[in-house]
Amino acid sequence: MPNETHSEPTIVQADVKYMTDTGEKRLIYIPSEAGQDNSKWAGRYEDRKVEIRNARIEPSVFDLDTAGFAIASQSTAVTDFYDDAQIADVYEPEVAAFLQQLTGAARVHIFDHTRRADSESMRSEKVVREPAGVIHNDYTQASAEKRVRDLFPADEAEDLLSRRFAIVNLWRSSNNAPIETAPLALCDARSVSDGDLITVERHSKDRIGEVQQVIFNPDHRWFYYPRLEADEALLIKTYDSATDGRARFSVHTAFEDPTVSADAPPRESIETRAFVFY
């Protein structure tokens, strides 16, 4: 338990929301629109109490190719993450350069930013989405490839798809304060089996895609980074086309951290999705 000099938990127990495998073949998830808490999840779910370890003090190293996630220092010149012009002019070049250096990719292409807040009033005021409280990974192989085909001209897409590519999310605080409530729990990709992952259609207003939701498996090993600082970023590799044994997907969910006080400021975050082409 926390004390006054060092308030970092080593391990917490918390409920996370798994999918119940009902054998249903076609499941459809309708994501919320910004400012409206109207996500419609696809199937039956069950809360499971799991141990979530403090990744900061674990002896093992977490990186994108082993665990499927990583933490990095990433300072930014952005002063207002709610300003679309700053996101386009300041943040995107920063993130692209950062991811290129980190991954050694030939090319990085940013294609999405999602802002979220753990407060209903803030969500309607700032027109942002809620924390994602169901365990998931953002892409399947099919939806990752479709995303490339949707966003590039046909010839270029086929060329890009002929070599290795990945999708990496960069997730961070968006209000210049540490993340306290609703942090992200990340499941070590080495503890996830293919059979734990259920493909679910994702029908948003603009397009149809696919995500993966997850069936409980006692082998899953969960981690988090308590109090993610304003100059820290979480990297989540939500897809990798490589099939050589490295992590291809990264399962994650927001959760309620029992060590965080009830009057802690609500989390505000932004996640940026990028193609990483090799």
In the list Fe ion, ligand OGA, none, the entry touching 171 (Cβ below 5 to 8 angstroms by class) is ligand OGA
H or E stretch at 275: strand 268-277
For the chain, how far is it from start to end, CA to CA, in angstroms? 44
169 interacts with ligand OGA by CB under 6 A? yes
Q: CB under 5 A: which stretch of 25-33, 49-57, 70-78, 135-143 binds Fe ion?
A: 135-143
Distance CA 249, CA 212 (A): 9
Distance CA 231, CA 224 (A): 16
Which residue in the set 171, 249, 255, 275 belongs to the binding site for ligand OGA (CB under 6 A)?
Answer: 171
Return all residues near 204 (Cβ < 8 A) that are at least 6 apart. 30, 31
Distances (CA, A) of 235 to 73, 98, 171: 11, 11, 6
Which residue in the set 271, 275, 276, 277 belongs to the binding site for ligand OGA (CB under 6 A)?
Answer: 271
252 interacts with ligand OGA by CB under 6 A? yes
254 interacts with ligand OGA by CB under 6 A? yes
Kindly tell me which of 138 and 180 has the beta carbon lying closer to Fe ion: 138
Minimum gap (Å) between residue 169 Cβ and ligand OGA? 5
210 interacts with Fe ion by CB under 5 A? no
Runs of H (alpha helix) within the chain? 84-86, 92-103, 120-126, 141-151, 154-161
249 interacts with ligand OGA by CB under 6 A? no
Residues in contact with ligand OGA by CB under 6 A are: 116, 131-132, 138, 169, 171, 184, 236, 252, 254, 269, 271
